[in-house]
Amino acid sequence: MISNDKNINNLFLYWLIINLMLVFLIIIIGGLTRLTDSGLSITEWELFKGIVPPTSHVTWEYYFEQYKKIPQYEILNYNMTLDEFKIIFYWEYIHRLLARIIGLFFLIPLIYFYFTKKINKDYLLICLIIFCLITLQGIVGWYMVKSGLVNDVTVSHYRLSIHLSIAFIIISSIFWLIINILRKKKELFFIYTKKNFPFLFLIFLIYLQIVCGAFVSGLDAGRIYQNWPLMGQSYFPNDIIIVNVKSLINFNDHSLIQFYHRNLAYMIAVYIFILSFVIYKKDLKPLFKPIGIVIFFLFLQIILGIFTLISGLNIYLASAHQISSLLFVFSAINLHYFRTK
């Protein structure tokens, strides 16, 4: 009986790790879908219908004709051929197919683990919340796509940021749960104390930067200024006119959003170095390695961000920048976990 319980618990852990990898993969695919402007290639939700890709010329023509009706084709891609359309179609198709796989792969084993009654109830409750977020993510994904089908050539950067934020919350929740299981603990993420606040605040800053990064991506704001460290010829872009406080929260302004994204990165870097100094000053030895990992991914993220910008938004560097952001989040969560111990 003990051996059986151990096997089921191991199976539960492996299932979570695979889910973590699948969500990691879909975030990368989602980023590439955005970078290749492929997200509007399928103009219907197709919850059940679009599981199999087009297999005949007639079906391909149907999808292409539907795409021709939206502003992105009419304004930007009016000379696109069917073969070129197939490329952007498959990016979005793979993204949607992987989303379906994740939903089913999470739900079906979760039902099994629930009825075995051998998995910790607290862990199962977290998994149920994660599944609700996965379902919500699917709805938000379509809500995002809809914003680019009528009056615009791309999706709303606000809706894109919500979609990306939920993805990061999902993968962060799975990551935290895996750490708890590996360490046989039940640490809560939101434990607010004076000691934990600096680490929670770091995670908040990184999440804020992710939202800001989604704004940059959604607006294609990275195409405005592609030099560093200055923006054009100055630190503050000269095409921004500040009239009042409202001007400072104009999140539709491409230059302003890029300025915020850059400076939030500087702020996070300074904050991490102050946090590192405090950790070493207080000789918090259990945190030496975790903060070292955070610093490594901080440098990697900044370097990739700079090279992505000055390369003219090279798609490989941009994708690497997003992958690095995921690892950066993991490192900050890992640091917070060791602090809560």
pLDDT tens digits for 196-241? 899 999 999 999 999 999 999 999 888 888 999 999 889 998 888 8
- State what percent of residues in the chain have pLDDT above 70: 98
pLDDT of residue 341: 59
- Are residue 171 and residue 261 in the same domain, yes or no? no
Q: Which of 151, 170, 186 is the last residue of a domain?
A: 186
Domain residues for the domain of 280 are 191-341
* Per-residue pLDDT at 181 exceeds 70: yes
pLDDT-derived band at 118, boundaries 50, 70, 90: confident
- Are residue 182 and residue 248 in the same domain, yes or no? no
- State what percent of residues in the chain have pLDDT above 90: 71
Q: Which of 158, 186, 214 is the last residue of a domain?
A: 186
Mean model confidence pLDDT for the chain:
91
- Are residue 150 and residue 285 in the same domain, yes or no? no
- Are residue 24 and residue 170 in the same domain, yes or no? yes
Rounded to a whole number of angstroms, the distance between the first and last alpha carbons of the chain is: 31
- Are residue 168 and residue 297 in the same domain, yes or no? no
What are the tokens at 163? 């979609």
Q: Which of 129, 155, 186 is the last residue of a domain?
A: 186
- Are residue 105 and residue 41 in the same domain, yes or no? yes
- The Cα–Cα gap between 209 and 225 comes to 18
Q: pTM of the predicted model, to two decimals?
A: 0.92
Counting the structural domains of the chain, the total is 2
- Are residue 104 and residue 65 in the same domain, yes or no? yes
* Per-residue pLDDT at 246 exceeds 90: no
pLDDT-derived band at 3, boundaries 50, 70, 90: low
* Per-residue pLDDT at 191 exceeds 80: no
pLDDT of residue 116: 87
What is the SS3 assignment for the chain?
A: CHHHHHHHHHHHHHHHHHHHHHHHHHHHHHHHHHHCCCCCCCCCCCCCHHHCCCCCHHHHHHHHHHHCCCHHHHHHCCCCCHHHHHHHHHHHHHHHHHHHHHHHHHHHHHHHHHHHCCCCHHHHHHHHHHHHHHHHHHHHHHHHHHCCCCCCCCCCHHHHHHHHHHHHHHHHHHHHHHHHHHCCCCCCCCCCCCCCHHHHHHHHHHHHHHHHHHHHHHHCHHHCCCCCCCECCECCCCCCCCCCHHHHCCCCCHHHHHHHHHHHHHHHHHHHHHHHHHHHHCCCHHHHHHHHHHHHHHHHHHHHHHHHHHCCCCHHHHHHHHHHHHHHHHHHHHHHHHHHC
Between 329 and 120, residue with greater pLDDT: 329
- Are residue 17 and residue 163 in the same domain, yes or no? yes
* Per-residue pLDDT at 128 exceeds 50: yes
What are the tokens at 173? 């929740």
- Are residue 107 and residue 208 in the same domain, yes or no? no
- Are residue 77 and residue 222 in the same domain, yes or no? no
- Are residue 7 and residue 155 in the same domain, yes or no? yes
* Per-residue pLDDT at 193 exceeds 70: yes
pLDDT of residue 2: 52
- Are residue 16 and residue 71 in the same domain, yes or no? yes
- The Cα–Cα gap between 198 and 200 comes to 6
Q: Can you tell me the mean pLDDT for 242-258?
A: 88
75-110 confidence digits (pLDDT tens): 988 999 999 999 999 999 999 999 999 999 999 999
- The Cα–Cα gap between 92 and 71 comes to 18
130-150 confidence digits (pLDDT tens): 999 999 999 999 999 999 888
* Per-residue pLDDT at 183 exceeds 50: yes
Q: Can you tell me the mean pLDDT for 304-314?
A: 93
pLDDT of residue 156: 92
